[in-house]
Each structure stands twice: as C-alpha cells, then as structure tokens.
Structure 1
C-alpha cells in the first residue's frame, strides 16, 4: 500500500475558499456529546478528530451567513453518522429507521427517548423553515433522503452482508452509488445555501437531473479514492469503483485507478459542457446558471476538503468500523 500512488481528481473551474470554514468547530463538539452518543464513546472520540464540520463550508464556500450554514453543517454530520452506524444494519431495521427519518424531516418532532440523530434532523428542518425555505423544498430533500436509504444504502446491504465477496457490475454499481453516496439530498442544500429554492419544474428538467447525477458520480469517485486505503483492509467493502473495475475487467489495481480517473474526467467534461449550453429557464435563467455553478463548486469543494482539511476520517486512527448494535472495535 505504501507504494501505491492514488491519484487526486482535479477540476477545470476555480476552487473557492470559505471564509467561515472553522466557524462550527466548537459547536459540533456539543452535538457529538449530546446527540450522537448512541454510536459509542470510541466513535464519538474519533468523530471529533475528523473535521466533518468543514465539509459543508468547503462544498458551499459562497454561503457566509452563519445561520444559513448551520443546518447545512447539521446535515453533513447526520447523513455521515447515519451511513457509518447503519451501514451493516439488517434491511428490516433500515426500513423502520428510513420511515421514521422521513416523518421527522417532513415535520414530526422526535420523542425524548429516540436517538439524537432525529433531534439533529428536526433542528435542521426548523432552521430551514425559519430561513423561509418553502414546503416543496422540504418535501424534495426529505424524499431524496428516503431514496438515498431505499435505493442506495439498502441496495448495498446484500453485497456488504454476503458471506463471500460479491461485486456488482460496473453498470449496477453506478445505479446504486447514484443514491448511496447521499449526494442527491446533499445537493439539495444548494438551495438554502443560496437562500433560493429552485422551482420544481426546473429542478425536474432532465439537464438539471443529469447534472445532479454527475455530481453524485464525481463525489462517489472522490470518496472511493480517498477511502481506498481504509477499504483495502476491510472485509465488508465491495462498493468501491476500484474494486469493481478490477473484478469486471480482471485488471491490476494500478490499471483500475487509471480507468477510474478516465471515467472521472469524462464526467467532468460532460458537466462543463452542460453548464455551457443550458436551455432557456426564463424568468429564472440567472438563478439556474448560478445553481449549476454551485453544483460544480460542490464537486471541487469536496475534493478541496479531502486535500486540505487535515481530516483523520480515512486514516487508521480516525475511521469508524460499522458494527450496528455493537461497540466499535478499538484499532
């Protein structure tokens, strides 16, 4: 592994630095201690070293209003911890949690005895409503989170719980990862970050949906490359594009990495091309162009976080081993 050179994705558009990147470092520590202790003391200890509060600020660097950014930070924390904690949960448990999450994101307040994950979700929803985000947008992000669990996390579960290593085809991999990377609901955060909800008919336009899909794929590849050292030592991880390419084409890991970057760069070129040739979305042309620009900033900003935030999330002392219903193992 020491000799393996893992490439870093790059982008042809400028990367912007957030002026408030460090603003939530202390606040999120209280969230961990209050609402995320259901994960285990060891997990909380590791989360506090991961700089996850900066992900939202790196990916939405033009949002400088602290009150607008706070629910975005909450979201990146709770979707990340959800994925870590429930990754190996049985399907019947995931269905129950999925349905409860949808209820809370749509407006139901959690009970005092429920896990703190729901409290963070309810807090974010209330902050968005105070900001003036419309109900159709609340329904959008809630539905996309529901789909993230249903068509993403739950579709990965059979591969991760299999007693033998089974890989999806490359085509199947991309269908699942479009959802399981969590970027469809996370991409919805562009709207409150800009304090403008993209109208439903524009959001549903095939070009906007393709751009969101490309964002999912770019973040997926970034994540797979960043987590590759961690996943090479785990026994349950088959949903990494490098492993999928190796299995499908019977190639070396070096060849799989080169093919990964070729695929990545094709997605980047398509995103740039679509941005340059958007159809007429009048009277919201300016807002839609700005929205697409921020889709691109999300992609480059996430890679910027991997490269420069100094997170321990993908290092031995920082990463979380998913063991739903158990204490995380000491490493």
Structure 2
C-alpha cells in the first residue's frame, strides 16, 4: 500500500519580486541549444527546451531590466545546469581535466573549433561581461565555477558511482552539496544584474561569505524538495536531504521533510538576521546591504521559478541522460503520489 507524502512549500520572511523581463530569452535559448549543445542527443535537446532554464536567471535576479546585462547571466544558468546534468557521472580524472579547461576559457582562452560547444557559451558570456564588468569579478566567477566542479561535482562521484546505494552523513552532504548546487557562481550574478560589482574586501568579509553560504544551503533544500518526486523513483539515488535524514536518524520520509524544512527555515532566519546586523562598511554600506537584499531575492526568486515558471524540469523525463549514465537512469514516474520506499 502506498503511503502519501506531503512535501512542504518553501516560504520566506521577505518578498518575492517578479522580473520585468522574465521570459525575455525563451527564443534565444532555443538557438543556443541548437547551435552549441549539439553534443547532447536530439531527444536530450527536446527535454531541455521546455525547462525554461534561462528564466532561472531572470526569476533569481528580478530587479534587472537590462537584456544586455542579463544575457550572459542566462547563458551561465543554462551551461552550469547542463554541465552538471551531462557530466554528472563522469570519472573524476576526466572531470578534473574538464574543470581546468573550463577555468582557462572563463579566464580568457577561446575554445578550439572542435571542442565541446558548451565552452563556446562560456566564452561568449565572458566576452559579454568583459564589456561592463571589472576583471576581478570575472576572476571571481571563474574560480567559483571551478570550485563548483572540484568541491561539488567531484565529491558526489563516490555516491553516484557506488555499486549499492550509499548515504553521506548530513554534515558531509551539506559540505559538498553547497558547491554542487552551483549557488556560488549563481550568487556572483547579482553583480552584473545590479551593475554593482561588490568590492573584494566586502565579498571576503566573514558575514557576507556566510550570507552567500546560506544562499547555497537554502537552495540545496529547496532543490531537494523540488526533485524529490523524480528521485523517489530512482533506486540508486541517495543525494537528497530527505533520504539522508531518513537514513541517518531513522525517520519516515514525512518526518524527514519536517526536519529538512526546520533546517531551511532556520537558515532563512539566520540570513534575515545577518542582513539586519551588517558591520560598518563605510562608504560601501548601502552597496553591501543591497547585495544581501539581492541574495534574499535570489532565494525567493528561485522558489518562484520552481512553482510558477512553467518549467517541466522536475517532471518525468525532465533530465537529459548523463554522458556516463548507467542503464535505468531514464525513469518514467507512472503516478503522482509520493511514496515511501
């Protein structure tokens, strides 16, 4: 007998703002897929287009009304997401080599004509940013993308490639998932979206870095709730906070949902409290305050994208099959009820 599982919705003690250019890249996005993502199968491209990944950029940076400033951000939202999807099962040695090549391209090298097309999207985004963003910011996003792969994706490999399902302990999971969720480079997009590069001394301040870490941790839980329906049907899947809490603390999935939401809400309150008690940054005080404000808008904007953008990313057959995917990853969910395994 199937037991119904009620997955809670995420809410925040700050507003959700709607973007004035929310759907601006819907058509351009299709061209990017057709021209630069041809390494993905034709069926994979068909799955990508209804996901509206470019809208993640606009929903998460909702105060930006500039197509030019948002275009490279939309490119990044797509290429980081599909990089994770496509290379998620790649052996560590190959993934590390890819990370180094990505870093070279994001730092200024142009890809060769025969290299994978995703590098062309990265190079084009970098060139667009170079017209209005300072060098230190481009260096920052390049490093954060590299760490997304090295400290995030590579740390997931032992769990994804294990012969039988293996669970990390919760602190271990959060230590690498906060990188593999991609929110360090996503958070960098606040600067071009607001046309306000955050000075290095503010960016590196422990309170500001904690706020950026909280962005990642909150989105980890947000994303795990959103993907739970699909992941419940994948026998080998362990990298979801609901599964980890259930396994580590012997909880039902419903109890694990309650505990995950408790953590989520605690992180949200901490971010709100830190925003209200920033240190003195002198002439840059308003800029620092506005940056944390936009971190909060990214969080509520991402939830808005999950719930209201029309994406089908978390529906059956929503993901592309990874390059090194094992047989059976492409799962059809035949029912709409969340079930306890």
Q: Which residue of 2 aligns with 1:82?
A: 83
Q: Is the 8 A contact 2:234 2:331 kept in 1?
A: no
Q: Considering only aligned residues, what root-mean-square deviation do their CA atoms show, in Å?
A: 1.5
Q: Which residue of 2 aligns with 1:302?
A: 302
Q: Which residue of 2 aligns with 1:271?
A: 271
Distance in structure 1 (CA, Å) of the matches to 2:321 and 2:218: 24
Relative to structure 1, the CA distance from residue 258 to residue 325 in structure 2 (aligned partners, 3 Å threshold; closer, same or farther) is: closer
Unaligned runs of 5+ in 2: 333-341
Provide the TM-score with structure 1 as the length reference: 0.97
Q: Which residue of 1 aligns with 2:292?
A: 292
Q: Which residue of 2 aligns with 1:214?
A: 214
CA offsets 1:147-201 (integer angstroms, 9 cap, x no match): 1111100000001100011101011011011111110111011111111111111
Q: Indicate yes or no: 2:133 matched with 1:128.
A: no
**TM-superposed deviation, 1:329:** 5.1
Q: Which residue of 2 aligns with 1:37?
A: 38
1:197-276 pair list within 5 angstroms: 197-276=197-276
Relative to structure 1, the CA distance from residue 37 to residue 330 in structure 2 (aligned partners, 3 Å threshold; closer, same or farther) is: farther
Q: Is the partner of 2:5 in helix, strand or coil?
A: coil
Please identify, of 228-237 and 140-149, the stretch whose mean Cα deviation from structure 2 is larger. 228-237
Relative to structure 1, the CA distance from residue 34 to residue 236 in structure 2 (aligned partners, 3 Å threshold; closer, same or farther) is: farther
Q: Which residue of 2 aligns with 1:112?
A: 113
**TM-superposed deviation, 1:210:** 0.3
Q: Is the 8 A contact 1:42 1:330 kept in 2?
A: no
> Matched residue pairs, number?
330
CA offsets 1:76-98 (integer angstroms, 9 cap, x no match): 00000000000000001101100
Q: Which residue of 2 aligns with 1:9?
A: 10
Please identify, of 309-318 and 120-129, the stretch whose mean Cα deviation from structure 2 is larger. 309-318
Distance in structure 2 (CA, Å) of the matches to 1:330 and 1:292: 39
Q: Is the partner of 1:37 in helix, strand or coil?
A: coil
Relative to structure 1, the CA distance from residue 325 to residue 222 in structure 2 (aligned partners, 3 Å threshold; closer, same or farther) is: closer
Q: Is the 8 A contact 2:103 2:143 kept in 1?
A: yes
Q: Which residue of 2 aligns with 1:55?
A: 56
**TM-superposed deviation, 1:330:** 8.4
**TM-superposed deviation, 1:323:** 3.9
Q: Indicate yes or no: 2:319 matched with 1:314.
A: no
Distance in structure 1 (CA, Å) of the matches to 2:326 and 2:235: 17
Distance in structure 2 (CA, Å) of the matches to 1:282 and 1:326: 54
Q: Is the 8 A contact 2:89 2:325 kept in 1?
A: no
**TM-superposed deviation, 1:2:** 8.0
CA offsets 1:82-122 (integer angstroms, 9 cap, x no match): 00000000001101100000000000000010111000000
Distance in structure 1 (CA, Å) of the matches to 2:236 and 2:81: 18
Q: Is the 8 A contact 2:317 2:331 kept in 1?
A: no
**TM-superposed deviation, 1:235:** 3.4
Relative to structure 1, the CA distance from residue 27 to residue 158 in structure 2 (aligned partners, 3 Å threshold; closer, same or farther) is: same
**TM-superposed deviation, 1:324:** 2.6
| Regions of 4+ moved over 3 Å | 325-331
**TM-superposed deviation, 1:319:** 2.6
Q: Which residue of 1 aligns with 2:180?
A: 180
Distance in structure 2 (CA, Å) of the matches to 1:96 and 1:317: 29
Q: Is the partner of 1:283 in helix, strand or coil?
A: helix
Q: Is the 8 A contact 2:86 2:323 kept in 1?
A: yes
Q: Is the 8 A contact 1:242 1:260 kept in 2?
A: yes
Q: Is the partner of 1:266 in helix, strand or coil?
A: helix
Provide the TM-score with structure 2 as the length reference: 0.94
